[in-house]
Structure 1
Amino acid sequence: MSEEPVRLEPAAEAPLHVVATAGHVDHGKSSLILRLTGIDPDRLAEEKRRGLTIDLGFAWCTLPSGREIGFVDVPGHERFVRNMLAGVGPVRLVLFVVAADEGWKPQSEEHLAIVDVLGADGGVVALTKCDLVDEEAVDLAIEDVRDRLRGTALQDAPIVRCSSQTGEGLDALVEALDAMVEAAADPAEDERPRLFVDRIFTVTGAGTIVTGTLTGGRLRVGQEVDLLPAGGRGRIRGLQTHKRSIQMARPVSRVAANLVGIDREGPGRGDVLGLPGEWRPTRVFEVRLRPVRGLAHPLTTRGAYKIYAGAAERGARIRFYETGELTDPEGCFARIRVSDPLVLDVHDRFVLREAGRRETVAGGVVLDADPPVRPGRAVHRRLDARERAARADLPSLLVSERGAVPASDLAILTGAQVSAIEGAERTGTWWVADRVFDQVRGALHAELAAFHEDHPLDEGLELARARASVVRSLQEAGSPGDVSVADAMLSTLFGSGRVVREGSIVRLASHMASLAGREEEAGRLVRAVAEAEPTPPTVDELTSAGFASDLIEAATRAGMLVRLSRDLVMTPGLVARAEALVRGSGNQGITVSAFREAMGTSRKYAMPLLEHLDQRKVTIRRGDLRFPREPASSG
């Protein structure tokens, strides 16, 4: 390979990939990246002075196939593992570096543990500094490295002997990198975008710049974006990848975004840039947790840990679901609570380090980023199902778990926009599991049927009571007892034709309130009112006289009586007489006093009569007078 790397033009639509380095300090990671790309990833003055990578460095090149890859060069020193984790966290392809002259070292082991628990999708091992040792030493180093990789995510990774000084093996290394990215899954461009921020700085005249790894979805110039969990909404003024200005950023790539509306103090390493409303930070989540191989001591619930997810670092406390400590190499289900919110997705991977010992102790995968407040007895079955589920199955699984889920939450918690879910029904802004819908529908039908049987003269239940019944049924089904989902389900039930809403009354479609069998009793009621007019008894007086309230309501609905107020009914004949009296006043109108005297009643009855005529728009009030409206109203 020549001294200067060949600068090929990237293929226009070739998938993009990012590769993170890993390996012990001073094993030649940065020198190798410089030789491969022509870009020195050590950007800090202190790094150049000390010859030691302290923070993340970045470079890129185009492979012979036309695929463009970016490199995140990470520090190898133990003191800077937290920086290493910020770089490797969002990346799934690894260039693992081991020096042939020194061989396997402590940070080689820790970096391998980190790569392993993060579940690298592909890797290449570069055995560097081969020019410093003889052929036998190189062969022994390769054999040792292969033994140490066995049983890890890098066990099948090719080991390429090379030297940054002489150029030996660099062509073979490029070929191995090309083969690795060719075998890697194409980035998910249709996902919701998430840019893991690892650098923030301000450029005079431009404003805030954030850089990071875009792992999925696309970002475009002009889009509104949210910075989470720091908070703040801004707009993308400009985008760059590999120092080229672009209109759209594609995954997986290193991206610099120039933001308008977000101050320098807002974002920090570990924040996430995404589209508004698509992500929700969390402080509690459920995981499958696995200890690193060869861990000398168990993980306990009393331990103080640091969690590294994406480019973020947080303090963490763990609750194991199976036991009080973790020793099983297969791991266990656990609940993690973090010191500050994280932006997580199902299937995200993370690393756990013990704060006191400053060593990597475990890693895992997120199974539920927004778990129930109480895990419940079915937690193992629920998490086992989630662990086995593909992403496409998550919407159905989530609705099945919770019974009812807002459509907006479904999109946030699963990243899916769906038009249909097997075993669920969309009602209003909610997705409701069929089993829950069936249970709620059956309970409401049963309650309405029982009410109609006990109160045949009543039209049905008050809407508020029907809503309360649905809320209760939802809670009994283990679903959110939310009024909004209850109203959405009621609307769907009304549309089915089996349940009817009339104003504030809910009834079964098959029910019609009827006086059948009680005609004689209703006749006595009407006579009792008519015989006392124009000063009839109040409703309370009628019920005290033995007339049931449901009979009074039924007679009113049947038109045998007219309700003037909550406590007053009159016969249609008396109401018609009052209407005729007002109409007869013509353009002169009539006062309350004159109306009262003409009707032969008191103000107690005259006012409800006139107000009833006002409400029916038979009359209109002007000052102290009532005038007839035109056209004449019947009834």
Structure 2
Amino acid sequence: MANIVIGTAGHIDHGKTTLIKALTGIETDTTKEEKKRGMSINLGFAYLDLPNDKRVGIVDVPGHEKFIKNMVAGLPGINLVLLVIDAAEGIMPQTKEHIDILTLLGIRDFLIVLTKVDTVDPDLKELVVEDIREQLADTPLAEADLIETDAVSGTGINELLAKIQEHSEEAQERSANGSARLNVDRVFSVKGFGTVITGTLLDGAINAGDEMYVYPSGKKTRVRNIQVHETDVKSAQPGQRTALNLANLSTDEIQRGDVLSLSEKLEATWMLDVKVSCLPEVEGGIGLWDRVRLLVGTREVMARTVPIGVDWIGPGEEGFLQLRLEEQVAVKERDHFILRAYSPMQTIAGGEVLDAAPHKHRRFKAEIIESLKAKEEGSLDELIADFLNNKKQPFTKAKELQEYLGVDQEELQQVLAEMISDKRVLETKAGYLAQARYQKLAAQATEILSAYHKQYRLRFGMPLEEFRSRMRGNLAEKEISALIVLLKAAAVKEANDKIALQEFEVVFNKYQQTAKEKIEQTLANSGYTPVKKEELAELDKNAEEVLEALNGESVIFLTHEYVLLGKVFAQAVNAIQNYIGEHGQMTLGDFRDVTDSSRKSSMLILEYMDKQGITKRVENYRVLG
């Protein structure tokens, strides 16, 4: 059975707190100010033991207009909402706003709880019920069960408990995949324990001892202890109301509205790309640069609206916005939010985050609009493609995709396998790469190498380290290595620590060919005695340029100064392999005798072989590398 959290909603004085006390025995108005004023100011928390012994969390959210932001803060992670309505008063303006907020936040599971029924005339109660059904006819609450209760006399309490149990059994189990994430709604200090925070665990699981990150600050902390419903536990699961005792963090370093996550890759952002639904009764809709209050998670921040693809979003309409924030937030794609007017403070819209860390874009750019549509409506493969094509880093690990999409690992791997088979995605040791991103990187590599070949027509290719440096940009070293592997399959060739386009070939004119022959003949005549580069350069006016072209091909640069003919070097390698194969090892003197060369020449050749890994020096002799 799933872990569920129940929220209450309704107008001030309609009996939410009293109802929860009747259900649970817990008083959720905890502060002196709340008791004095007779209203919930902050979020109140309780838990309820159902007849089937299932324990569920309850969040009593404030009903007064001034405390709407606290109400919204309590709603993330809620499965079921009890809409509380006074039998004597019926639906009030705040009740309607609560319904709007709940609907905009994507909540669809409701119970309507009529309170104080024993205090009103039965005929009046029937009129109120009829009015409630009429006013809720075009809302998600149209078919919701209505339970008549009186918390003082106990009327309907058992029936309400049975209905809550029925809903809890139907609730879907939340996946524990992905990194744990919790919106902080309370922060306080407990003597002898230190900093304690509370919130509803939205994603993943938390274990005692886990290291977590506070966003947007990025501070690091450790979970010292976990409580769920006032009971110490070793781990908390998605959907549970959770209290965490945190180490290495003071109450000044974390606050309500912060996000606590196991992931170190959650991004703090100044912008959000969102899909919004504007309420029908909002005068003027949402225009360019309107100042609004963004309520997301447990945060309230001021923001400016930038409609995308349209001039404005009218009353009752849906559309895309980029929100430019006045403070950073840390959210994830598919998180819900509410927008309220700056003044007067009324709810105007709500929706879903499509991109949690976008760049600024032009308002009418077609590709941006298409990307947002894909994020809103796309199938899993379209969402994967959009993420791979638009994220800053071209290569993406499976874990990063899973955290972003919040899907089961098996389902993700199945879709990725299909995309790889269709060649829409490439799989490498450094991660997954969209085909379109690869084509851009391949074009960049081709441009770099083409320019090099044009400048150095007689060189086999660009030194590999230079190529890596030119391609680096947003790529890590292991990603460049993975890219080179892909390029070698179709576009480039690599040899002797140099890289070139596959179609590129060094072509000598007749003068350069003459210089080539002079160089190779001189080196052949010299045998195992390396020749200085400067001596070879004096053979012909084209010799220096041609010598560079021959490097790694028909000639070997043992050092920056000494050169050996490639065929001679190959003979030397063959000789030493045969000798060590027979004798087990070879000294410098042995090599000198075998090749009939000088000590200096032998040393130059053997040291180069050591660098290439052909041989390995052990004390005063060599073995095969």
What TM-score results when the alignment is normalised by the length of structure 2? 0.80
Conserved? CA contact 2:5–2:77, under 8 Å: no
Q: After TM superposition, list the pairs within 5 Å mapping 1:131-210 onto structure 2.
A: 131-210=118-197
Match of 2:516 among 508, 513, 522: 522
Conserved? CA contact 2:266–2:330, under 8 Å: yes
Q: Distance in 2 between matches of 1:271 and 1:563?
A: 61
Match of 1:348 among 335, 340, 348: 335
Match of 2:56 among 69, 73, 84: 69
Aligned residue in 2 for 1:506: 499
- Letter paired with 2:545: S
Q: After TM superposition, list the pairs within 5 Å mapping 1:263-278 onto structure 2.
A: 263-278=250-265
Q: Distance in 1 between matches of 2:551 and 2:247?
A: 69
Conserved? CA contact 2:2–2:169, under 8 Å: no
Conserved? CA contact 2:270–2:325, under 8 Å: yes
1:459 deviates by 2.8
Match of 2:370 among 356, 375, 381: 381
Aligned residue in 1 for 2:405: 414
Aligned residue in 2 for 1:432: 433
After superposition, what is the alpha-carbon deviation per residue over 1:450-480, rounded to whole angstroms, capped at 9, x for unaligned? 9889988643333256557867xxxxxxxx8
After superposition, what is the alpha-carbon deviation per residue over 1:293-330, rounded to whole angstroms, capped at 9, x for unaligned? 32233222232111111111111111101333221523
Q: Counterpart of 2:19 in 1: which secondary structure?
A: helix
- CA 1:235/1:394 → structure 2, altered by over 3 Å: closer, same or farther? same
- CA 1:42/1:530 → structure 2, altered by over 3 Å: closer, same or farther? closer
Q: Counterpart of 2:386 in 1: which secondary structure?
A: helix
Aligned residue in 1 for 2:94: 107
Aligned residue in 1 for 2:82: 95
Q: Distance in 1 between matches of 2:250 and 2:261?
A: 16
Q: Distance in 2 between matches of 1:385 and 1:436?
A: 17
- Letter paired with 1:52: M
Q: Distance in 2 between matches of 1:141 and 1:612?
A: 105
1:490 deviates by 3.5
Matched, 1:128 2:115: yes
Q: Distance in 1 between matches of 2:185 and 2:141?
A: 25
Conserved? CA contact 2:6–2:78, under 8 Å: yes
Q: Counterpart of 2:161 in 1: which secondary structure?
A: helix
Q: After TM superposition, list the pairs within 5 Å mapping 1:473-492 onto structure 2.
A: 482=475, 484=477, 487-492=480-485
- Letter paired with 2:405: T
Q: Distance in 1 between matches of 2:381 and 2:86?
A: 43
- CA 1:488/1:553 → structure 2, altered by over 3 Å: closer, same or farther? closer
Aligned residue in 2 for 1:460: 461
Aligned residue in 1 for 2:318: 331
Q: Counterpart of 1:299 in 2: which secondary structure?
A: coil
Aligned residues: 571
Conserved? CA contact 1:224–1:276, under 8 Å: no
Conserved? CA contact 1:20–1:73, under 8 Å: yes
Farther-moved stretch of structure 1 (157-166 vs 351-360): 157-166
Conserved? CA contact 2:8–2:61, under 8 Å: yes
Aligned residue in 1 for 2:66: 79
Q: Structure 2: which 5+ runs fail to align?
A: 570-588, 590-598, 609-618
Q: Counterpart of 1:337 in 2: which secondary structure?
A: strand
After superposition, what is the alpha-carbon deviation per residue over 1:351-374, rounded to whole angstroms, capped at 9, x for unaligned? 111122111111010111122443
After superposition, what is the alpha-carbon deviation per residue over 1:152-177, rounded to whole angstroms, capped at 9, x for unaligned? 33232212122112222222222222
1:530 deviates by 11
After superposition, what is the alpha-carbon deviation per residue over 1:483-542, rounded to whole angstroms, capped at 9, x for unaligned? 6586134342377498443343014679887989976553345679999x9999667655
Q: Distance in 2 between matches of 1:309 and 1:536?
A: 70
Conserved? CA contact 1:493–1:499, under 8 Å: no
Matched, 1:365 2:361: no
Match of 2:32 among 23, 28, 45: 45
1:427 deviates by 2.6
1:482 deviates by 3.7
Conserved? CA contact 2:283–2:315, under 8 Å: no
- CA 1:612/1:326 → structure 2, altered by over 3 Å: closer, same or farther? farther
Matched, 1:248 2:235: yes
Aligned residue in 2 for 1:304: 291
- Letter paired with 2:199: G
- CA 1:616/1:371 → structure 2, altered by over 3 Å: closer, same or farther? same
After superposition, what is the alpha-carbon deviation per residue over 1:580-627, rounded to whole angstroms, capped at 9, x for unaligned? xxxxxx9xxxxxxxxxxxxxxxxxxxxxx9799658549xxxxxxxxx
Q: Distance in 2 between matches of 1:501 and 1:279?
A: 39
- CA 1:512/1:223 → structure 2, altered by over 3 Å: closer, same or farther? same
Task: Tell me the C-alpha RMSD between the 2 structures.
Answer: 4.1
Match of 1:397 among 374, 378, 386: 386
- CA 1:249/1:52 → structure 2, altered by over 3 Å: closer, same or farther? same
1:137 deviates by 1.7
Match of 1:54 among 41, 62, 65: 41
Conserved? CA contact 2:515–2:539, under 8 Å: no
Q: Distance in 2 between matches of 1:404 and 1:152?
A: 43
Conserved? CA contact 1:522–1:555, under 8 Å: no
Conserved? CA contact 2:279–2:317, under 8 Å: no
Q: Distance in 2 between matches of 1:404 and 1:571?
A: 43
Q: Distance in 1 between matches of 2:607 and 2:533?
A: 24
Q: Counterpart of 2:284 in 1: which secondary structure?
A: coil
- Letter paired with 1:380: I
- CA 1:442/1:98 → structure 2, altered by over 3 Å: closer, same or farther? same
After superposition, what is the alpha-carbon deviation per residue over 1:535-577, rounded to whole angstroms, capped at 9, x for unaligned? 996676556x344713663288424x877646x86999xx9xx
Conserved? CA contact 1:57–1:73, under 8 Å: yes
Q: Counterpart of 2:366 in 1: which secondary structure?
A: coil
Conserved? CA contact 1:353–1:361, under 8 Å: yes
Q: Distance in 2 between matches of 1:309 and 1:56?
A: 15
Conserved? CA contact 1:113–1:293, under 8 Å: no
Conserved? CA contact 1:22–1:111, under 8 Å: yes
After superposition, what is the alpha-carbon deviation per residue over 1:20-61, rounded to whole angstroms, capped at 9, x for unaligned? 111100000001101111111111122222222111111111
- CA 1:391/1:124 → structure 2, altered by over 3 Å: closer, same or farther? farther
Q: Distance in 2 between matches of 1:281 and 1:501?
A: 42
Q: Counterpart of 1:119 in 2: which secondary structure?
A: coil
- CA 1:137/1:41 → structure 2, altered by over 3 Å: closer, same or farther? same
Conserved? CA contact 1:449–1:508, under 8 Å: yes
Matched, 1:20 2:7: yes
Q: Distance in 1 between matches of 2:154 and 2:564?
A: 107
Aligned residue in 2 for 1:553: 549
Q: Counterpart of 1:88 in 2: which secondary structure?
A: coil
Q: Distance in 1 between matches of 2:178 and 2:565?
A: 69
- Letter paired with 1:259: L
Conserved? CA contact 1:89–1:308, under 8 Å: no
1:76 deviates by 0.9
Conserved? CA contact 1:234–1:261, under 8 Å: yes
Q: Distance in 1 between matches of 2:82 and 2:176?
A: 24
After superposition, what is the alpha-carbon deviation per residue over 1:117-152, rounded to whole angstroms, capped at 9, x for unaligned? 011131111111112222222222122222222333
Conserved? CA contact 1:115–1:153, under 8 Å: no
1:631 deviates by 6.7
Q: Distance in 1 between matches of 2:58 and 2:191?
A: 27
Q: Percent identity?
A: 28
1:424 deviates by 1.4
- CA 1:149/1:538 → structure 2, altered by over 3 Å: closer, same or farther? farther
Aligned residue in 2 for 1:595: none
Q: Structure 1: which 5+ runs fail to align?
A: 1-13, 472-479, 576-585, 587-608, 619-628
Q: Distance in 1 between matches of 2:533 and 2:436?
A: 53
- CA 1:272/1:565 → structure 2, altered by over 3 Å: closer, same or farther? closer
Matched, 1:218 2:200: no
- Letter paired with 1:404: P
Q: Distance in 2 between matches of 1:359 and 1:556?
A: 74
